[in-house]
Amino acid sequence: MELNKPLPLTELKKARKPIRNINIEHKERLTKLERFAVWITDRIGTMGFFLLIFAWTVVWLGWNLMAPAELTFDPYPAFVLWLFISNMIQLLLMPLLLIGQNLQGKHAEARAEADFEVNTKAEKEIETILLHLENQDNAMQTILKKLEK
């Protein structure tokens, strides 16, 4: 686009693309399994989940340390059952978390691209408006000079 020649408004309007809602597009593209992975990632990455796991650990270890020997089911010092269950939770959740984080990363990239498109379009429109204003200012200056004569 030349600096001295502003883009006609009709051309600018024709060049406009409709604004996309990346959030809706992203959600529509996800499969059920991907939605599940994102749901898991959103829930596990909270203080509530941390407190749940922490409370479960404290209760489990506390019971097996302080309960009468005949009522304990996972004896000190090994806590084999607790370790097994904890490791299984980790093994099952780790891939889901990674998948969810990858999907969230792709969503963030799509939002950044959409923001860039909007910013580029706004920049072109602002430049066109400024050029039109500059041309109007020049025209008004010319008219004023002619009126002063």
Residue 97 CB contacts under 8 Å (≥ 6 apart), including other chains: 40, 41, 44, 45
85, part of any domain = yes
101, part of any domain = yes
Domain span including residue 44: 9-148
Looking at 19-79, list the stretches that DSSP marks H as alpha helix, in order from N- to C-terminal side.
22-29, 32-44, 47-66
User: How many structural domains are present in the chain?
Assistant: 1
C-alpha–C-alpha distance, residues 105 and 24, integer Å:
16
27, part of any domain = yes
2, part of any domain = no
Number of other CB atoms surrounding residue 49 within 10 Å:
13
Cβ proximity of 76 and 65 under 8 Å: yes
State the average pLDDT over residues 126-142.
Answer: 91
Residue 31 has pLDDT above 70, yes or no: yes
pTM higher than the cut 0.85:
no
Residues above pLDDT 90, as percent of the chain? 46
133, part of any domain = yes
58, part of any domain = yes
